[in-house]
Structure 1
Amino acid sequence: MTRPATPSIDAAARSELRLTRGIRVTWWYTLSAIVFFELVLLTLAISVLADGEATPFVVAVVAGGGLVWCASTVVLLTDYRDRTDTGPLAPWPRTLAPLLTAAAYGAAIVTLTGLWVLAALPLAQALMFLNWQAGVRLRVVLLVTVVLAALWAIDMQETLGDRGFIGIYVVSLPGMTVASLWWWDVLIALDRARASEARLAATQERLRVATDVHDLQGHHLQVIALQLELAERLLARDPQAALEHLQTARTSVDEARQGTRDLATRFRAVPLRDELANAVDLLRAAGIAAEASVDPDADLAPAAVLGPVIRETTTNVLRHGGGGWARLALTRVGSSWLYEITNDRGADVAAAQDGAGLDGLARRAADAGGVLDVRRAPREFAVSMTVPAQVGVLP
């Protein structure tokens, strides 16, 4: 069993990964929903034309042009994804081609069918994806809706007749599109607020660390400076007293060094409860049905000893397990802590494959005054480590 080159389990990284995936899924849902709305409209338009007096050529042009128009909106949506409130209205070199596509498609529709409401929709829909400011966007949507409603009324009298139900969908499409984009904007705003909060928390944490280091080092440096000054004054007339002050200064140096080391250790340590939660997340991400049982007092367990063991055994399950299930447990047993991980075992996994890694875990357990136990069964594999409760507990 070999430790991974990079940390395989990290609470902040796992949380960030889940959040990033959720945002990505939401974006694809937004994009697919808008394109679906457009395809539904295209299907309705083709149905109306096919049932009417339109020739197969007209139907084919409307259908083919509609697919090209839908594809062009994907380009606009891609640009919209990373918009900011202070950004330009549109990245014009990329936006110009979709806008011209929408305009050309609209011109072809009105020329071939005489339906003004369908002709105006492609360009009106394209305008929804521009980076309008919040108040301006609402006014643009209302204006476009009014224009489309007016064109629908004209088409109802001259062309559509009793097929006017398609107009309802056309007039509603810009509003539905903006509603979908509004949900995306809300999600992005929340994510940016979360990122700002995380940066603020990191800044506050760095400030707290700096304060602790300043207080620790400042105190000891002040003592050292005072002892050295006294030793300098006494060196000529009382060498023995000067030596005592030098010894006191050296002791302060050792205390400052140890205090700094302890402070760094406290900030590097990851609570075992988080280690186990991250192990479960990692296993589940690999398709393994994982669960963990954690003692309520797990924060008192020796994290310096058990933390690396949790990471190593989780990696071992990923590499050599059967990939079906895994159970992790951390419990208090008298004056000791028991960590155990059990998983299904693949039929083709030989015992020799995990020997080196288990030897390393056994040495780690022995160094901590604990015991490692390995149980092998045809379809199950379990590793447990028992360590004294006070080993590695941080002050």
Structure 2
Amino acid sequence: MTVDGADRRLRRARQLTLASLATNLWTSLLLPAIGLAREPDPVQLALGAAGVVAFAAAQTAVLYSAVTPWLAERRRRRFQAVLAVVAVLTVPLVGPVAAGTWPTWAWLGASLVGMFPLLLRPVTAAAATVGVLAVSVVVAGWAGVAVRDSLLITGGVGVAVAGVTWLQVWFWDLLVEARQGQAARARLAAAEERLRFARDVHDLLGHDLTVIALKAELAARLAPVDVGRAGREAAEVQRLAGSALHRVREAVHGYRAVDLAEQLTAVGEVLRSCGVRCTVAQPDGEVPPPVAAELAAVLREAGTNVLRHSRAGWCRIEITRENGMVTMTVSNDGAVDGGPDEHSGGLRGLADRLAAAGGAVHARREDSVFTLVASVPVAA
């Protein structure tokens, strides 16, 4: 992919979101653990501990699926179903724990209410919250703890946790949508470039192929009646075909005239679409077509390096013309170890190509700033 830097930032944001959501676990592990510590019956203690651990595990799986957009929907629903089953089982397993001394299940109920923004629509979540409160009242009466305390814990703490959870998930969804928008813009820029090239090839070949088809048809008709003229037409077809082939090769290899300003604009748009602040300083005056073709190749390699081999936050592209040389400088921050240098394969290929035109390419790294400088003589 050409957006590795942006993906790394998204992965870091995902890890932070997951860690933040995991704070939900304190209501399903730490506080119920107080009730487990107060339970004198070893059998009930074991059953309660199993219920708490199973609930925490199912809750962790749902939290993980909530911030993993590439997870299959079937697996996501499976995690949610497991959480629902475990939540029901915790009522007989955890409800009697520390009966009369600590509202153990009420904390699990609060944690469950805090999960509803991940699982349900607002109206359904409100209805489910009322249901959990009703269960908390029943468990409180069964376990001999204060109903008011259970309602305050399940309702008050649960709604507070739900609000925090909703805010975290909302921010995460915004990040994912922004990333998807960046990827779509990058794909659109690449598609536009392919369409531009396709139009160029069509313009090159459309007329030539039409003439070739007509002359080939004419030669076929003349062959039985005028062999000499048919031969001349066939020779003309051969000449036109060779000319068309030559022009296509020039287009493919970048030797035909290149609009360097257009290339600069396209690369700048791709970088910006991937979250890199890009500044482009256009050259003063027109760059000769042969020089533009060489610098366009360097520009494409430099743009690829910024996206693949750095965590760039900014990039500056500048082209200057002085003393018979046209120089392009591409600088970006976020250079990482193992990135390109003047010995890397892509830059070696560029150095060989520019050397054939009398130019040169150099790369340097200062702290986290990577700079690529390419120079081509105007007479290239």
The TM-score, its normalising length taken from structure 1, stands at 0.58
Residue 39 in structure 1 maps to residue 23 in structure 2: no
| Amino acid corresponding to residue 177 of structure 1 in structure 2 | T
Which secondary structure state, in structure 2, belongs to the residue aligned with residue 112 of structure 1?
Answer: coil
> Unaligned regions of 5+ residues in structure 1, if any?
1-12, 280-290, 316-326, 343-352, 376-381
Query: Partner residue of 2:312?
Result: none
Percent of matched pairs sharing the same residue = 26
Matching residue of 2:95: 110
Q: Deviations over 1:265-287 (max 9, x none)?
A: 459999468889999xxxxxxxx
Does residue 220 of structure 1 match 2:208? Answer: yes
Query: 1:143 is matched by which residue type in structure 2?
Result: A
Uncovered stretches (5+) of structure 2, i.e. residues with no partner: 272-276, 306-315, 332-341, 365-370
SS of the residue corresponding to residue 332 of structure 1 reads: strand
> In the TM superposition, what is the alpha-carbon distance from 1:193 to its structure 2 partner?
5.8
Compared with structure 1, are the counterparts of its residues 17 and 56 closer, same or farther at alpha carbon in structure 2 (3 Å cutoff)?
farther
Once residues 22 and 91 of structure 1 are traced to their aligned partners in structure 2, the CA distance between those partners, rounded to angstroms, is 27
- From the superposition, tell whether residues 124 and 89 of structure 1 become closer, same or farther in structure 2 (CA, over 3 Å): farther
Looking at structure 2, the residues matched to 234 and 20 of structure 1 have their Cα atoms a distance apart, in angstroms, of 64
Describe the SS at the equivalent of 1:338. strand
CA contact (8 A) 1:31 1:74 kept: no
> Counterpart of 1:217 in structure 2: which amino acid?
L
Q: CA RMSD in A?
A: 5.6
The whole-number CA distance in structure 2 between the counterparts of 1:75 and 1:227 is: 70
Residue of structure 2 in register with 1:388 after alignment: 377
- Which secondary structure does the structure 1 equivalent of 2:146 belong to? helix
- Paired position in structure 2 for 1:138: 122
Residue identity in the other structure for 2:106: V
- Cα drift, residue 36 of structure 1: 0.8
Q: Call closer, same or farther: CA 1:272–1:206 in 2, change over 3 Å.
A: closer
Counterparts in 2 of 1:33 and 1:241: CA distance versus 1, 3 Å: same
Matched, 1:74 2:60: yes
Structure 2 matches for 1:92-103, cutoff 5 A?
A: 92=78, 95=80, 97-103=82-88
Query: 2 CA distance for matches of 1:330 and 1:158?
Result: 77
Q: Counterpart of 2:282 in structure 1: which amino acid?
A: P
Total equivalences in the alignment: 333
Residue aligning to 1:284: none
Deviation at 1:220, TM superposition (A): 1.3
Q: How far apart are residue 328 of structure 1 and its match?
A: 9.0
- Give CA-to-partner distance per residue, 1:312-341, whole Å, 9 cap, x none: 9x99xxxxxxxxxxx997532143113579
The aligned counterpart of 1:368 is: 357
- Identify if the C-alpha distance between structure 1 residues 295 and 110 changes in structure 2 by more than 3 Å, giving closer, same or farther: same
Contact 1:106 1:121 in 2 (8 A): no
Return the offset for 1:142: 0.7
Aligned residue number for residue 334 of structure 2: none
Q: What amino acid maps onto 2:23 in structure 1?
A: F
Which residue of 1 is the match for residue 239 of structure 2? 251
Out of 149, 164, 168, which is 1:176 matched to?
164
Q: State the distance in 1 between where 2:242 and 2:63 align.
A: 62
CA gap of 1:275–1:337, structure 2 versus 1, over 3 A, is farther
Cα 1:164–1:218, aligned 2, differ >3 Å: closer, same or farther?
A: closer
Question: Where do 1:161-240 residues align within 5 Å?
Answer: 166-167=153-154, 168-189=156-177, 191-192=179-180, 209-210=197-198, 212-232=200-220
In structure 2, the residue matched to 1:323 is: none
Alpha-carbon distance change, 57 to 25 in structure 1, aligned in 2, over 3 angstroms = farther
- Select 2:248's aligned residue among 255, 260, 285: 260
